[in-house]
Amino acid sequence: MRRGSDVFSTSRGTVSERGRNRSWLLSSIITFNVLILGIALVSGSVFNNVKINAINLQIFLIVLIILTTAWMLYYTIYTSREDHAVLYKDSHAGPVWLRGGLVLFGLCSLIMDVFKIANYVGYLHCDSAVKIAFPVVQAVFILVQTYFLWLHAKDCVQLQRNITRCGLMLTLSTNLMLWMAAVTEESIHQTVVPPEDDNSTHSYDIRAPGGSSSCNCSHSACAVLEKAYYYLYPFNIEYSLFASAMAYVMWKNVGRLVDEHNHHSLHFRLKDMLVGPAVGLVMLVAGLGTFVIYKVDVEKGDPGKRDTVLMIHYVMNTVAVTLMSVSTVAGCAIYRLDQRDHVSGKNPTRSLDVGLLIGASFGQFTICYFTIVAVVATGAEGHLNALNLAVSLLTVIQLCLQNIFIIEGLHREPFHEDMHQASVFTNPYVLQAQAHRDIHNLPGTFMETKTSPALTVHSMHVAPSAPSSSPLPQRHRLTWKRRALKEICAFLLLCNILLWIMPAFGARPQFDNTIGAEFYEFTMWAAVVNIGLPFGIFYRMHSVASLFEVFLTS
Amino acid sequence: MRRGSDVFSTSRGTVSERGRNRSWLLSSIITFNVLILGIALVSGSVFNNVKINAINLQIFLIVLIILTTAWMLYYTIYTSREDHAVLYKDSHAGPVWLRGGLVLFGLCSLIMDVFKIANYVGYLHCDSAVKIAFPVVQAVFILVQTYFLWLHAKDCVQLQRNITRCGLMLTLSTNLMLWMAAVTEESIHQTVVPPEDDNSTHSYDIRAPGGSSSCNCSHSACAVLEKAYYYLYPFNIEYSLFASAMAYVMWKNVGRLVDEHNHHSLHFRLKDMLVGPAVGLVMLVAGLGTFVIYKVDVEKGDPGKRDTVLMIHYVMNTVAVTLMSVSTVAGCAIYRLDQRDHVSGKNPTRSLDVGLLIGASFGQFTICYFTIVAVVATGAEGHLNALNLAVSLLTVIQLCLQNIFIIEGLHREPFHEDMHQASVFTNPYVLQAQAHRDIHNLPGTFMETKTSPALTVHSMHVAPSAPSSSPLPQRHRLTWKRRALKEICAFLLLCNILLWIMPAFGARPQFDNTIGAEFYEFTMWAAVVNIGLPFGIFYRMHSVASLFEVFLTS
């Protein structure tokens, strides 16, 4: 919505501006139509009794992929031949961790496609050849797209803007469609329909991956391959989202003229960090331990054991979410004390980050509130329900706090080490007194007492020997505020990884605890969880990336 | 998403700016939480077997309404006591037709509430008293809110910004919740569950308005009242949306400093219009005729007749949508010839208009694409399916074109009569020659030949006698471009009214034609239609309002 006004409010009626508005509208409308047609096809392939649409959907996807690949090849060749095709680059777009993640997830997706092809070869004698064609085409697409985005993610295109806008929107649509198809397949795979519903017509269609159940695999590796490639699904889902985000930022940057000023080179250093990463790692290991116990015991299907592992799972989550909330509150308090400027200037990458963060948290919020309503309405009897309620309430609080913390963090100017060192050089005793006052007057965050001796010593000894052009920047230690923020970011980052891994690799307490499916009906509850959870997983993933950025700028 | 960046990108780290960001975040988070909790309660009250939640939902709504009413009274009293409480007004916000519509729909909602109260009095001996409390509280709320918005819709609040931001977001949440509750109740009322599904557990809960079916009304007017108030639901739904839009614009305007320049007073004149309004009126009358036939014959339930009236309904829609598409293309062609500037500058009202237009068209798009997939996949056999497919395809095209036309129209500067008159005064013969050339060279829009003599005569006779300060502005006639645009707007406006009335008053060809419910399962199809259709209805409503604005500025 704001996007529209933003584009139009800067336009002043010149011909090129009007052309910009037109191609903006046109490319948006193309995306809109492709996506809605895609949603209809995906829904048709899931809910339809005839089952003809799974093939139709794949044909639709293949057509989209081929068109997008062709455009990306055309763009790459065109820009490499033309001199000065790309004069401007957006330094914020496509940071190295995003492109690195893209390559990593791309590799996993390629392995998944190889497994899929090997699996479908076994079904070739009795199933459609389209099912093999799809992973082949997808593998080529992943190779081309990763190459394309690696090279061109920072481009601010000036030539052939209309074609480029439409091409980028096509890329965006294709990736979102692939994401949607993968999420749907993954959700169906993870949803175990309760046995009492099996005779109704409303049961979900859990397809054997090779096709109809009367078709048997002709080689022995099928069962293993099938299991293996389902574990690679989360990476493929993330790959599509990464590519979508990068395509969107490129689209926003088409026709933009940027000056490459104030690009801070930020370094990742874990020195001086102790409490945050340590507690975070303990949480991560403990969480993964309970997750493994949970998966093993739930798969056995013993109802008594199920309640026990659900309890362990809820306790683990309660502890994690509570600690996260407490440290986020501490982080927000530090921001209030902090005098850093807010960043100004247009930055599509940051706008996208904030938007995705708020948008994706919607999924987790929805599941939590639905759980709260169900548990409260049925009276919240027993330990299990009480714990379930506690986890949901605490998660809601944690989500609100974390959103505030990350949004605040993304909008702060990075700390300028030079300025700070210069002031140290000028008058070390002022800073030293300042450090003392900070430590003794301010209400304590949790690592204050541990860091204070080191910090005070450091201020006295290092400061006079560290002028602005110091050859030893690595030895420059951090003020307590920066250090506390970094510790908090590291802790939150590791906890978000934990909360990402558990649902991404198949923890479904929402279905294992039957209260949701009993209170709402099963179809309704399955719809809420299967739409909300992918967004929740993405939210955790995206929080990890954003927290990493906040960590770097703090 | 862009909203966030917009707020932050202009902030420069001063204390008040930071306070602005905080209250922006806080009020957004409040809305977010209220809305998601509301969605959970609404879903619980619809899909839950226990039926305890309909009362819970109403209690939740009553609490929200009381809080909002209290805040609105506080704000009204505070601003009336404080001098200079409101220094700035946004001239674009709350135009008179919006406030007029608010009062009109508010009146209808009040009547609905009176009918509801009278109806529930009959059930008081055997049903919860909350059901009576709700319409009483709602009636008070409508009175207070209409008064509040009538007086304060243009305010750019400068004092107590944080409280005002939260209060306005609370108002927005309350209205959206009331809208959601009304839409749900209306949709359930309009959805007739097919009889073969009645034995399954997945049937919709069609509640008797007074409560459980064992509770009988104690007075005789119940049946009539019930029918009557369901006809008033569409107005109540629109009232909530109008109020939401106005609250959102007020929220965006909090803390804004605007200068009241370039406020054009635009007059509504139907003089010189002929073809557009005439054809539009014919369409409207014919459409309403077929709609009445449709409603009467569908309620009889005869399958043979049903096919006939469905056919008539589809033919009517095909004709309307085709004519609309053709005239929209003509309108877009005129825009390409037109040399008017695009408007610049920030304007929350326009941004909201564009956003709502694009967002609301999503509902109609979804239904169309789902229909297309279902019809194509089943082979599109028979006249009925072919017509259904044609209507859906043409509607998709019409929606795309209309969005482009309206967005272009909203971003053009209004025609400046003064400037134009001045140029006429300076050199009438140039304009006259221009008018001649326009008429003879340009590829014809459909009213060209009719308008040319009047226009030419006018240019020659009126022009020299109409200087800039003419006391007879009413006699100033329009150029052919302006006139054509006005005719097109008038025609589209009337057609959109037709396409609004039919679904708003209960035409449900999506359910009467069983192909959707057969292809997708009934629950899935009902969800798609019941979520998509309210947005579709709102889209038509909103298009009418936007087209009226385009009509005025053309």
- DSSP line for A300-369: HT-HHHHHHHHHHHHHHHHHHHHHHHHHHHHHHHHHHH--PPBP-S--HHHHHHHHHHHHHHHHHHHHHH
- DSSP line for B260-328: -----------TT--HHHHHHHHHHHHHHHHHHHHHHHHHHT-HHHHHHHHHHHHHHHHHHHHHHHHHH
CB atoms < 10 A from the CB of B547, how many? Answer: 25
Query: What local confidence, expressed as pLDDT, does residue B20 receive?
Result: 62
Chain A: residue whose CA lies nearest to B397: A33
* Region of residue B344 (phi > 0: left; psi between -120 and 50: alpha; otherwise: beta): beta
Cβ of B44 and A520 within 8 Å? yes
Distance of CA B87 to the CA centre of its chain: 30
Look up residue B235 and give its two tokens.
Answer: 């107005």
Closest CA–CA distance from residue B382 to any residue of chain A (Å): 20
Half-sphere exposure of B303 (CA within 13 A, CB side): 1
Crossing angle of helices A382-410 and A303-337, rounded to 10°: 30
* Region of residue A443 (phi > 0: left; psi between -120 and 50: alpha; otherwise: beta): beta
Cβ of A4 and B374 within 8 Å? no
Closest CA–CA distance from residue A544 to any residue of chain B (Å): 19
CB contacts under 8 A, B 503-532 vs A, are 519-521, 523-524, 527-528
Q: How far apart are CA A476 and CA B164, in angstroms?
A: 46
Look up residue B171 and give its two tokens.
Answer: 């108002």
Look up residue A138 and give its two tokens.
Answer: 């997808």
Q: How far apart are CA A541 and CA A183, in angstroms?
A: 15
Of A189, A208, A206, give the one whose Cα is nearest residue A198. Answer: A206
State the Cα angle at A475 between A473 and A481, rounded to 5°. 90
Interface test with B, best of A31, A33, A48 (most B CBs within 10 A): A48
Cβ of A9 and B519 within 8 Å? no
Element housing A146 (H / E): helix A130-152
DSSP letter, residue B554: -
CB atoms < 10 A from the CB of A326, how many? Answer: 14
Chain B: residue whose CA lies nearest to A348: B5
- 3-state secondary structure labels for all residues of A269-304: CCCCCCHHHHHHHHHHHHHHHHHHHHHHHHHHCCHH
- B13 closest CB neighbour out of A18, A49, A341: A341
Q: For chain A, say whether B399 makes contact (Cβ under 8 Å).
A: no
- Residue A260 backbone phi and psi in degrees, to 5: -85, 60
Cβ of B520 and A47 within 8 Å? yes
Of B506, B25, B91, give the one whose Cα is nearest residue B294. Answer: B506
- Cβ contacts of residue A282 below 8 Å, gap of 6+? none
Q: For chain B, say whether A369 makes contact (Cβ under 8 Å).
A: yes
Q: Which residues of A touch B346 (CB under 8 A)?
A: 5, 9
In the block, residue with structure tokens 């006429």: B424
Q: For chain B, say whether A380 makes contact (Cβ under 8 Å).
A: no
State the Cα angle at A29 between A25 and B371, rounded to 5°. 155
DSSP bridge pairs for A208: A211
Look up residue A255 and give its two tokens.
Answer: 């026709």
DSSP letter, residue B155: E
- Residue A344 backbone phi and psi in degrees, to 5: -120, 175
- Cβ contacts of residue B170 below 8 Å, gap of 6+? B30, B31, B34, B64, B67, B68, B71
Closest CA–CA distance from residue B121 to any residue of chain A (Å): 27
* Region of residue A150 (phi > 0: left; psi between -120 and 50: alpha; otherwise: beta): alpha
Closest CA–CA distance from residue A349 to any residue of chain B (Å): 10
The per-residue pLDDT string of chain B (554 residues; one tens digit each, 9 = 90 and over) reads 333 333 333 333 344 555 566 778 888 888 889 999 998 888 888 776 665 667 888 899 999 999 999 999 999 998 888 777 777 777 777 777 788 889 999 999 999 999 999 888 888 887 778 888 999 999 999 999 999 999 888 888 888 888 899 999 999 999 999 998 988 888 777 776 665 444 443 334 333 344 445 677 777 788 888 888 888 888 888 899 889 988 988 888 888 776 555 555 556 666 667 888 899 999 999 999 999 998 888 877 777 888 888 999 999 999 999 999 999 999 999 888 877 777 766 677 788 888 888 888 989 999 999 999 889 888 878 888 999 999 999 999 999 999 999 988 888 877 654 444 433 333 444 444 444 444 444 443 333 333 333 333 333 333 333 344 444 444 455 678 888 888 999 999 999 999 988 888 878 888 888 888 888 888 788 888 888 888 888 899 889 888 988 888 87
Q: For chain B, say whether A362 makes contact (Cβ under 8 Å).
A: yes
Q: For chain A, say whether B338 makes contact (Cβ under 8 Å).
A: no
Look up residue B465 and give its two tokens.
Answer: 């006698």
Q: For chain B, say whether A173 makes contact (Cβ under 8 Å).
A: no
Extract long-range pairs of A36-40: CB within 8 Å, 24+ residues apart. A36/B362, A36/B365, A36/B366, A36/B369, A37/B369, A37/B372, A37/B373, A38/A173, A38/A176, A38/A177, A38/A180, A39/A180, A39/B366, A39/B369, A40/B366, A40/B369, A40/B370, A40/B372, A40/B373
DSSP letter, residue A444: P
Query: What local confidence, expressed as pLDDT, does residue A468 receive?
Result: 40
* ipTM of the complex in this document: 0.71
Interface test with A, best of B42, B202, B371 (most A CBs within 10 A): B202
Q: Which residues of A touch B343 (CB under 8 A)?
A: 8
CB atoms < 10 A from the CB of B200, how many? Answer: 13
- Cβ contacts of residue B224 below 8 Å, gap of 6+? none
Element housing B156 (H / E): strand B155-156
- Cβ contacts of residue A303 below 8 Å, gap of 6+? none
- 3-state secondary structure labels for all residues of B458-494: HHHHCHHHCCCCCCCHHHCCCCHHHHHHHHHHHHHHH
Q: Is B147 exposed, middle or buried (0-12, 13-18, 19+ CB in 10 A)?
A: middle
> 3-state DSSP: chain A helix, strand, coil percent, rounded to 5?
75, 0, 25
CB contacts under 8 A, B 192-211 vs A, are 200-202
Q: For the segment B401-455, what is each residue's pLDDT rounded down to a tens digit?
A: 999 999 888 888 776 544 444 333 334 444 444 444 444 444 433 333 333 333 3
- DSSP line for A460-491: HHTGGG--TT-S-GGGPPPPHHHHHHHHHHHH
Q: How far apart are CA A287 and CA A281, in angstroms?
A: 10
- Cα end-to-end span (Å), chain A: 32
DSSP bridge pairs for A33: none
Q: Are A179 and A241 in contact (CB under 8 A)?
A: yes
Q: Are A248 and A172 in contact (CB under 8 A)?
A: yes
The per-residue pLDDT string of chain A (554 residues; one tens digit each, 9 = 90 and over) reads 333 333 333 333 344 555 566 778 888 888 889 999 998 888 888 776 665 667 888 899 999 999 999 999 999 998 888 777 777 777 777 777 788 889 999 999 999 999 999 888 888 887 778 888 999 999 999 999 999 999 888 888 888 888 899 999 999 999 999 998 988 888 777 776 665 444 443 334 333 344 445 677 777 788 888 888 888 888 888 899 889 988 988 888 888 777 555 555 556 666 667 888 899 999 999 999 999 998 888 877 777 888 888 999 999 999 999 999 999 999 999 888 877 777 766 677 788 888 888 888 989 999 999 999 889 888 878 888 999 999 999 999 999 999 999 988 888 877 654 444 433 333 444 444 444 444 444 443 333 333 333 333 333 333 333 344 444 444 455 678 888 888 999 999 999 999 988 888 878 888 888 888 888 888 788 888 888 888 888 899 889 888 988 888 87
Look up residue A416 and give its two tokens.
Answer: 């300028």
Q: How far apart are CA A255 and CA A430, in angstroms?
A: 49
Question: Which pairing describes strands A88-89 and B88-89: parallel, antiparallel, or unpaired?
Answer: unpaired
Q: How far apart are CA B163 and CA B176, in angstroms?
A: 20
Crossing angle of helices A15-47 and B348-377, rounded to 10°: 40
Q: How far apart are CA A137 and CA A65, in angstroms?
A: 7
Q: How far apart are CA A459 and CA A16, in angstroms?
A: 56
Query: What local confidence, expressed as pLDDT, does residue B83 receive?
Result: 73
Q: Are A367 and A521 in contact (CB under 8 A)?
A: no
Cβ of A523 and B358 within 8 Å? no
Query: What local confidence, expressed as pLDDT, does residue A99 receive?
Result: 87
